[in-house]
Every structure is written in structure tokens, then in C-alpha cells.
């Protein structure tokens, strides 16, 4: 789960990390008033669930409240396309107006999960700012990494080593040690998958400040934080993902033409691999989980059908906890309700499989039953021609 920069900054300031003074606005008039409060000279920052805003015109310094208002009108009116949003871009519904800080140096600092090592990893670079991807690609030796042992946690001497590697000395170095330790504490306590400060800056006045902040939470830990669901900005999410979330279904959009309904993430991965091997391109996958009901399968099926890219549907379900006849009923119910004209291939196995197949083949739908995964993938690819 992602949150906006202004929300991440609110959290970080609760951990004594300095952030610029700012106000989040929902209208261009509010932006004007906020800019006035800052004395006219300020930074207008579009809040979207993606980075790269600076280069795309989503972060700009302005000098008058009217200029801030004009810029806000323009930002609210269009979608912002950055290298991280994909070509369709994201709508701007919130704008952060911030004091313009005079920056002396920009650094990169983040903590994220290294899934290979099953640990948090701290990443830092003295060459932070909007070119960080280029630094990582061209001069990877300028990126410092530290894998954090979950038992001992992050120690001061390790944080100091990073601060020194950034070229900080004296009291700034000690401030940076405190900041790094606070960032790690925030990361742990908020169950983050990522917390990134880019840039972390030294101001001309000689302070360390988080000038940008990105935070995403581990979806599996959301239940531990009652405030998280209210922090979601639905304007930033795919509508089908929102519906899927409501029914506790995991929906992932991809760029092909075959809609995939599966149970279990592992089976989903295998399904995508085999489809690709057969020359098919998945349009999405929807994981209904282990013990889904008929209604849940029906909802899942409807969500897949709402994706205009879907030209055919591949249902691949292993009926362990789930009974195959229940799955078949869900598929039939949903396909009839929305008058599904698309070809469907169902591969299922497990309890009540014969009854499930009988229900499907006598349903009058454009459906084929497959005996195994390979057979099913080949059939749906062939049906789509
Ligand atoms: P993004 O990473 O999405 O491009 P940032 O918030 O990092 O957005 O802003 C881009 C650049 O704009 C930063 O690297 C920094 O140089 C400058 N910047 C951002 N906020 C401020 C601010 N409040 N005062 C001065 N400069 C800022
Ligand atoms: Mg940034």
C-alpha cells in the first residue's frame, strides 16, 4: 500500500525528522491561500503515487500566490505522466504547497526489503536527487548498501559509517546518524516495505531535512494499523483493483489479452509462465485465494470481464479446499449475468471435479474444459487465434 509524500512526511516528522513546512490542498484556491501563507515564494508539488514528478513538471518553484494558483489549476486539470506512472499517467487530486528551501547538497537514503536476503537493506548515496536512477546505472559504486540484521537491528556505528560515506562530518554527521536510526525505527514500527528520502538535503543554513519522502506499507501488516485504510487515495488506484480489494481478491493488471482466474499466488505464477510459453499474453490475474465462495468466484469473474483488454478467459483452479462444482457454479452465474460472449477455458482439478465439468459443459456457455495446465493454456491460446 502506497501513501502520498505529504503523509509520509507527517509520519517522519513524528520521528523527529525535519521536513519543510507545508500544507496539503484540494483546490487551486487553497493552493493560492497556502502560497500566500508561505510568503508567495514556495514549491508546488503534485501528490501522486509515483516519483519522477520533478522532471515531469509536477514539482515547481513559484514566486507569487497567483502563479501557484495557475499552476495548481493546470495540474488538477490533466494527468501527470512520469517515467514511473506508465503512459496513461495519474490524476492529481492533492497538491502540497511547501516552503522553498535553499538546498546546499542532495543525498539519497532509503530502507527497503531485500527479499533475496529476507532482510531490510539500507541504501544511501551522496549523489541524490532526480538523477538517482542514472547514478545507480552508470556509477553503482557511488551507492552504499547495508543489510540490516533483524536481531541486532541497525547500530549507531553502522549508521555513522553511512553518514561518513556520504561525506558528512562533525555535528552534521551525528545528526545524520540520528536521522538514519529514526528512519529505521519508522520503517519497523510502520511495517514499511519501503521508506525513501530522495533527496535528503543539507540546507544552506546547515540543517538536514527530508525534502521528499516515499513510503509504502507491507500489505500483510495493514491489519496492525487501524489508520492505514483511511490514508488511501482512491483516485490513484485502478478501479478494478479497488473492487477486487473490496472482495478481498488480489487483482493484478498486465498487458496481454487473456484474463486469468486462479487460486493461490504460486498457481498464478505457474499459469502466467505456461501461458507465455504457449505464446499467450495474460491481461491480468485474479487470485481468489484458498476457500472462496461461489459469490466470490462470480465477483472475480465479473472483475476480469470489465477489463476491456480481455479477449478470452482462462480459469485455472485447484480444488483442494474449494470444491470444483462450486467454482463451476460461480463461473456460470457470473458469465450468464453479464452475458459473457468470450471464450472460456476451465482447467480444474480436485474434489467434485466431474460434477464441476458436467455443470460447465451443459451450461450453454462458450466454454471448454481442459485436463491439465498445459492443455488448458494451449486451448485458450488457440481459441483466441
Ligand atoms: P520527485 O522525486 O518526484 O521528482 P521531489 O520531491 O524529490 O520529487 O522534488 C524534485 C526536486 O525538487 C528535489 O530533488 C529538490 O531538488 C526540489 N525540491 C523539492 N521540494 C523542495 C522544497 N520544498 N524546496 C526546495 N526545493 C525542493
Ligand atoms: Mg524525489
For the chain, the domains span 1-19+102-236, 21-100, 238-384
CA 21 to centroid of ligand 1, rounded, Å? 13
CA 349 to centroid of ligand 2, rounded, Å? 49
Provide the pairing of β-strand 282-287 with 258-262: parallel
Q: Which of 32, 196, 251, 299 is catalytic?
A: 196
Ligand 1 pocket, residues with Cβ under 6 angstroms: 20, 43, 45, 51-54, 59, 98, 100-101, 103, 106, 129-130, 198-199, 211-212
Q: Out of 6, 46, 211, 236, give the residue to mutate to test ligand 1, the one with the largest number of ligand atoms within 8 Å of its CB.
A: 211
The answer to whether residue 132 scores a pLDDT higher than 90 is no
Q: Which atom of ligand 1 is nearest to the CA of 98?
A: 23
The answer to whether residue 204 scores a pLDDT higher than 80 is yes
Residue nearest to atom 11 of ligand 1 (CA): 54
Which of 321, 326, 331, 323 lies closest to 286 in space, CA to CA? Answer: 331
The closest ligand to the CA of 129 turns out to be 1
Question: In this predicted structure, what is the pLDDT of residue 233?
Answer: 94
The answer to whether residue 16 scores a pLDDT higher than 80 is yes
Mean pLDDT in residue range 101-125: 96
The answer to whether residue 350 scores a pLDDT higher than 90 is no
Which pLDDT band, with edges at 50, 70 and 90, does 298 fall under?
A: confident
Q: Answer with the residue of higher pLDDT: 273 or 298.
A: 273
Q: Which atom of ligand 1 is nearest to the CA of 54?
A: 4
CA 1 to centroid of ligand 2, rounded, Å? 18
Question: In this predicted structure, what is the pLDDT of residue 323?
Answer: 84
The answer to whether residue 250 scores a pLDDT higher than 90 is no
**Taking all residues of the chain, what is their mean pLDDT, rounded to a whole number?**
93
- H or E segment to which residue 24 belongs: strand 22-25
CB 140 within 8 A of CB 224: no
* Sign, Cα dihedral of 157, 159, 161, 167: negative
CA 55 to centroid of ligand 1, rounded, Å? 10
Which pLDDT band, with edges at 50, 70 and 90, does 240 fall under?
A: confident
CB 111 within 8 A of CB 184: yes
Q: Answer with the residue of higher pLDDT: 365 or 320.
A: 365
The answer to whether residue 322 scores a pLDDT higher than 80 is no
Residue nearest to atom 16 of ligand 1 (CA): 129
Mean pLDDT in residue range 227-247: 89
CATH 3.40.50.720 holds for 21-100: no
Distance of alpha carbon 182 from alpha carbon 204, whole angstroms: 23
Q: Out of 22, 59, 100, 134, give the residue to mutate to test ligand 1, the one with the largest number of ligand atoms within 8 Å of its CB.
A: 59
DSSP states along 66-83: HHHHHHHHHHHHSEE--T
Question: In this predicted structure, what is the pLDDT of residue 207?
Answer: 96
Distance of alpha carbon 368 from alpha carbon 383, whole angstroms: 10
Sequence-separated (6 or more) residues with CB below 8 Å from residue 319: 327, 348, 349, 350, 351, 352, 353, 356
Question: In this predicted structure, what is the pLDDT of residue 293?
Answer: 75
CB 113 within 8 A of CB 120: yes
Which of 338, 343, 293, 287 lies closest to 314 in space, CA to CA? Answer: 343
Question: In this predicted structure, what is the pLDDT of residue 244?
Answer: 87
Q: Answer with the residue of higher pLDDT: 354 or 293.
A: 354
Instruction: List the CATH code of the domain at 1-19+102-236.
Output: 3.30.470.20
Check if 49 is active-site. no
Sequence-separated (6 or more) residues with CB below 8 Å from residue 62: 35, 40, 41, 42, 43, 44, 68, 71
Mean pLDDT in residue range 225-252: 89
Tell me the angle at which helices 373-384 and 265-277 cross, rounded to the nearest 10 degrees: 50
Instruction: List the CATH code of the domain at 238-384.
Output: 3.40.50.261
- H or E segment to which residue 179 belongs: helix 170-189
- H or E segment to which residue 374 belongs: helix 373-384
Instruction: Name the residue with cell 483442494.
Output: 320
Which pLDDT band, with edges at 50, 70 and 90, does 86 fall under?
A: confident
Q: Which atom of ligand 1 is nearest to the CA of 82?
A: 3
Pick the most confident of 76-90, 165-179, 249-263. Answer: 165-179
Check if 133 is active-site. no
Query: Which pTM value belongs to this model?
Result: 0.82
Question: In this predicted structure, what is the pLDDT of residue 257?
Answer: 95
Distance of alpha carbon 377 from alpha carbon 303, whole angstroms: 21
Residue nearest to atom 5 of ligand 1 (CA): 212
Q: Which of 108, 120, 184, 251 is catalytic?
A: 108
For 143-170, write each residue's pLDDT tens digit: 999 999 999 999 999 999 999 999 999 9
The answer to whether residue 296 scores a pLDDT higher than 90 is no
CA 197 to centroid of ligand 2, rounded, Å? 7
CB 148 within 8 A of CB 195: no
CB 81 within 8 A of CB 54: no
Distance of alpha carbon 204 from alpha carbon 189, whole angstroms: 32
Amino acid at each position: 500500500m502506497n501513501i502520498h509524500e505529504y503523509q509520509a512526511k507527517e509520519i517522519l516528522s513524528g520521528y523527529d525528522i525535519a521536513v519543510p513546512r507545508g500544507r496539503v490542498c484540494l483546490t487551486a484556491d487553497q493552493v493560492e491561500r497556502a502560497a500566500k501563507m508561505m510568503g508567495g515564494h514556495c514549491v508546488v508539488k503534485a501528490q501522486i503515487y509515483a516519483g519522477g514528478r520533478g522532471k515531469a513538471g509536477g514539482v515547481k518553484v513559484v514566486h507569487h500566490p497567483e502563479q501557484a494558483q495557475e499552476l495548481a489549476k493546470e495540474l488538477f486539470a490533466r494527468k501527470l505522466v512520469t517515467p514511473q506512472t506508465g503512459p496513461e499517467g495519474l490524476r492529481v487530486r492533492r497538491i502540497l504547497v511547501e516552503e522553498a528551501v535553499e538546498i546546499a547538497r542532495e543525498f539519497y537514503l532509503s530502507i527497503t526489503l531485500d527479499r533475496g536476503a529476507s532482510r531490510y537493506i539500507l541504501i544511501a548515496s551522496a549523489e541524490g536527487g532526480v538523477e538517482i536512477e542514472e547514478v545507480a546505472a552508470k556509477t553503482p559504486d557511488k551507492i552504499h548498501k547495508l543489510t540490516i540484521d533483524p536481531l541486532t537491528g541497525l547500530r549507531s556505528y553502522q549508521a555513522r559509517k553511512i553518514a561518513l560515506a556520504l561525506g558528512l562530518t562533525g555535528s552534521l554527521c551525528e545528526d545524520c546518524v540520528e536521522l538514519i536510526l529514526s528512519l529505521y525505527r519508522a520503517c519497523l514500527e510502520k511495517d514499511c516495505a519501503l521508506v525513501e528520502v530522495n533527496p535528503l538535503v543539507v540546507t544552506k543554513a546547515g540543517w538536514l531535512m527530508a525534502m521528499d519522502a516515499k513510503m509504502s506499507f507491507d500489505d500483510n501488516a495493514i491489519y496492525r494499523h487501524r489508520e492505514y485504510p483511511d490514508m488511501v487515495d482512491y483516485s490513484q488506484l485502478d478501479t478494478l483493483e479497488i473492487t477486487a480489494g473490496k472482495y478481498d481478491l488480489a487483482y493484478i493488471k498486465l498487458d496481454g489479452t487473456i484474463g486469468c482466474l486462479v487460486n493461490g499466488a504460486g498457481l498464478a505464477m505457474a499459469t502466467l509462465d505456461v501461458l507465455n510459453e504457449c505464446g499467450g499474453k495474460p491481461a491480468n490475474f485474479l487470485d481468489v485465494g484458498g476457500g472462496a465462495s461461489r459469490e466470490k468466484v462470480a465477483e472475480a469473474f465479473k472483475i476480469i470481464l470489465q477489463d476491456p483488454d480481455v479477449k478470452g478467459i482462462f480459469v485455472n483452479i485447484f480444488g483442494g479446499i474449494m470444491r470444483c462444482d462450486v467454482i463451476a457454479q460461480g463461473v456460470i452465474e457470473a458469465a450468464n449475468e453479464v452475458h459473457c460472449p468470450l471464450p472460456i477455458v476451465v482447467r480444474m482439478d480436485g474434489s467434485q471435479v466431474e460434477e464441476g465439468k458436467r455443470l460447465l459443459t451443459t451450461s450453454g456457455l462458450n466454454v471448454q474444459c481442459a485436463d491439465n495446465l498445459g492443455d488448458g493454456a494451449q486451448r485458450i491460446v488457440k481459441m483466441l487465434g
